[in-house]
């Protein structure tokens, strides 16, 4: 039987997706899909700079949210689920 190394923590955060939008008070909100990273920003440019930095300058990993987008810190963060490999 082979030993399988568990996935590294970085494998869950390798390709983060960030959402950007405006909250009901006019602040710009940035939050990743897991709820582990994000914040409130005064303007769109700073929100985009933060998201671009966090995604490794990958604009395709940033989604602009229409309507009101509130920063949600009340729910526990989503867990990364990595499928287990079956070894014969």
pLDDT tens for residues 6-28? 444 444 446 679 999 999 999 99
Total number of domains constituting the chain: 1
Q: From CA 69, how far away is CA 26, in angstroms rounded? A: 10
Domain that holds residue 22: 15-68
* Pick from 21, 24, 25: nearest CA to 62: 21
15-69 pLDDT per residue, tens? 679 999 999 999 999 999 988 899 999 999 999 999 999 999 999 999 999 999 9
The answer to whether residue 63 is domain-embedded is yes
d(CA 1, CA 37): 39
82 within some domain:
no
Separation CA 72–CA 39 (nearest Å):
10
Q: Are 19 and 31 in contact (CB under 8 A)?
A: yes
């Amino acid at each position: 039987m082979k030993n399988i190394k568990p996935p590294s923590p970085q494998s869950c955060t390798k390709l983060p997706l960030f959402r950007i939008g405006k909250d009901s008070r006019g602040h710009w909100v940035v939050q990743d899909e897991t709820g582990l990273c994000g914040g409130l920003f005064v303007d769109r440019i700073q929100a985009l700079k933060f998201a671009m930095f966090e995604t490794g300058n990958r604009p395709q990993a940033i989604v602009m949210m229409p309507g009101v987008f509130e920063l949600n810190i009340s729910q526990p963060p989503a867990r990364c689920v990595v499928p287990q490999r079956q070894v014969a």
